[in-house]
Structure 1
C-alpha cells in the first residue's frame, strides 16, 4: 500500500529474493533505478484523461491568451507610460512575473500530453518546477503590494506621497522577487523526478518519496503556503475592504461605482484563483503530519485548482493593465503603430487649427465692429 499526499507518494520496494542483476540494481544509490509503486488510484490518475488531456488543454488556453496580453502590457508600461509612477512599476513587474510563468507552461503541457512522462532530465524538472511556483507566488506578493499602494492612494492621498515613490516601488518589487526565489530553493535542491516501472513513465514533481515527504515536505509546504499566500491574502483582504469603504463615501456616483466594481472584481479574482489550491495544500500537509491516510482524489482536486490559479495570468492584464483609460489608450496606440511624436503632432495641429479659427473669428468680429462704428 502507499500513502498518497501532495504530491503523490510512492514506496520503494526492496525485495530480498531475486536475480543478481536485480540485487545489484537495488543497492545502487540512484533512487531512480529502483522499482517504485503507486496506488491503483494514482496510476489511473497518471494515465487518465484528466491529467493527460484536460489539464494540458487548460494550460494551452492559458498560454495562448496570457503571453500576448502580458507582452503587450509589458511593452505598454515600459515604453508608453510616462512618467514611471509606483502603480506602473508594480504592474510592469506583475506582467513580467505572469509572462515568465506562462513561458514555463509549454514544458508542463508536453509533460502531461505525453502521459505524465518527463523526458527533459531531473535538473530541468527542478528548474521548471521551481520557476512554476516562484513566478506564481511572486505574482501573489506583487498583487498584495498593489493592494497596499492603492489603499494608500485612496485613503491617504496626501500623507502617502512621501512613501509612494518610484524608489519604494522598486524596493518592494525587488523584495518580492528575492523572497519568491529564495522560497523555491528546496525544490531546486531536491530530486523531483521518479521512474514508475509499472507505468513506464518518469514523473516530474507528481510523485515524491513517502519518507522524504513525511520528514521534509510536510513542513515545507505549509510554511511556504502560509508565508507566500495566506499572510499576503490577509493583507490584501484588509486593504480591499478598506478601499471599498472609502470609495463608498465618494460623491461622484459614476466614478465611485466604477472604482468599486474594479476593486471588488480584482479581489474576487485574486481569491478565486489562489485560495482553493493553497487550502488543499495546507490540509494535505496537516493530515500528513498527523499520519492521516487519504485518497489520491484530493491530489486531482489540487491540480485542477492549480489550473484555475494559472488563469490569473490571463486575467491580470485585463484587470490591472487595461482597466484604466490611460493604459487602454496607450495599448491602442501601440497596436495601431502610432508613436508619441505622432500624437504630439496631432495635438499641435489641433491646437494650431483652433488658434487659426480663433484668429479668424477675432478678425471678423473686429471688421464687423469697425463697420458699426463707421
Structure 2
C-alpha cells in the first residue's frame, strides 16, 4: 500500500502538520520512491502486457480447456489489466509526482493495484488447491474440478476482491504543496484507516491463502514422495510428467509468495505501525524506502505468472512452441520471397 501510504503533509521545520494533527517527522524520500517506481514500471509494462496478451491468445486458441487453464486465463486477465494502468503511473512519477489526468483515473489506478494483487494471490491459491486435489484426490478432482465450476469460483474471487477493495476508490486526487497528487492519503487520520485496511488484507488476502498453499504443498510432497518409493516404482510416463508439473508448480508458486508477496505485506505492516506509533524518523524513512522496494517486487508478479503458465502447463508450452515455429516459418518464407524478388530484378 505504499503508493497510497504517502503523507500529504506540509513541512514545518522538522515536524509535519495536517488538519491540526502533528507527525513526529516528515517523509522526504519522494525522489527515491519515484526513481524506484519509474525504473520498475518501465521494465514491467512492456513485458507484462505482451506476455499476458500472448498468453491469453494461446489459451483461447487451445481447444482443450482444463480447470487449471481457466484459472490461468483469469490470472492473465488480471495481470494484463494491471499493466494497462502502468503508463499513467509512469507519467505521474516521471513528472515529479504531479497528476495531469482526471480524478477517476487516479482512483481506478489505486483500485486496480489492489484488485490485481489480491486476485492474483487468491487465484494462485485456487490453482494450488486444484493441483492438490489432482494429486491427492484424483477421483474427486475428475468430478468436481470441471471448467464450468472453476469459472464460477473465479468469478466469485473477482466479486469478493472487487468489493473488498472498494474503499480504495475513495482515495482520489489531493492537493499538496499546490500540486495535484495521486496515490497519497489526505489526512493524518487516514493513516489509521489504512492500518485497519492493511490488517484486513493481511489476514484475508495473504495469511489465509499462504497457509492454505503451505498445507496443500506439504500434502502434495508427501504423496509424491510416497509414490516414488519401492511400491510406486512402476510409473507410467504420464504419471512422471504429472509429477514433474506438480513439482514445478509447487516451486514457482512458493517462490512467488516468498519473493513477491511476503516481503511487501511484512514491511508494509511494520511501516504503518512506525508512522502511527511515531517511531524515530530515521527508522521510519528506512521502512518507507523498504516498502517502495517491496512494492516493486509485488508489482513484478505480473511478469512472473507467464513463466508459471509455460513451465506448469503442457498444452500452453506446446501451443507456444507451435506459435514460435509458425512465426519462424513465416519469417523464413518472407525473407525467401524478398531474396527471389531481388534476384529477378
Q: TM-score, normalised by structure 1?
A: 0.74
**Take 1:204 and 1:38, find their aligned partners in 2: how far apart are those partners?**
20
Please tell me whether the aligned partners of residues 48 and 83 of structure 2 are also in contact (alpha carbons under 8 angstroms).
Answer: yes
* Match runs of 1:1-374 below 5 Å: 7-11=5-9, 42-43=27-28, 45-46=29-30, 48=31, 50-80=32-62, 82-188=63-169, 190-197=170-177, 201-214=179-192, 216-251=193-228, 255=241, 256=243, 259-286=246-273, 295-337=284-326
Shift of 1:266: 2.5
Distance, in Å, in 2 between the alignment partners of 1:123 and 1:237 is 39
Rg bigger for which structure? Answer: 1
Match of 2:332 in 1: none
Describe the SS at the equivalent of 1:187: helix
Q: Number of aligned pairs?
A: 309
CA distance in 2 between counterparts of 1:41 and 1:113 reads 22
- How far apart, CA to CA, are the structure 2 residues paired with 1:63 and 1:286? 32
Please report how far the alpha carbon of residue 247 of structure 1 lies from its aligned counterpart in structure 2 after TM superposition: 1.8
* 1:229 to partner: Cα distance: 1.4
Q: Aligned equivalents of 2:22 and 2:105: distance in 1?
A: 24
- Conserved? CA contact 2:171–2:185, under 8 Å: no
Report which stretch shifted further, 201-210 or 148-157. Answer: 201-210
CA gap of 1:329–1:124, structure 2 versus 1, over 3 A, is same
Is residue 8–residue 208 contact of structure 1 (8 Å, CA) maintained in 2?
Answer: no
Structure 2 length as normaliser, TM-score? Answer: 0.80
Alignment partners' CA distance in 1, 2:268 and 2:185: 15
CA shift for structure 1 position 13: 9.0
Closer, same or farther: CA 321–177 of 1 in aligned 2, 3 Å: farther
SS in 2 for 1:202: strand
User: Structure 1 95/259 Cα, relative in aligned 2: closer, same or farther at 3 Å?
Assistant: same
Please give the alpha-carbon distance, in whole angstroms, between the structure 1 residues aligned to 2:49 and 2:3: 32
Q: Say which SS state the counterpart of residue 173 (structure 1) adopts.
A: helix
| CA 1:249–1:87: 2 relative to 1, 3 Å | same
SS of residue matched to 2:138: coil
1:39-63 deviation per Cα after TM superposition (whole angstroms, max 9, x unaligned): 87623x11x2x22323211111111
**Do the aligned residues in 2 keep the contact of 1:5 with 1:296 (CA within 8 Å)?**
no
Distance 1:13 1:297, change over 3 A: closer
Secondary structure at 2:143 match in 1: coil
Distance 2:213 2:222 in 1: 14
**1:148 deviation in Å?**
0.4
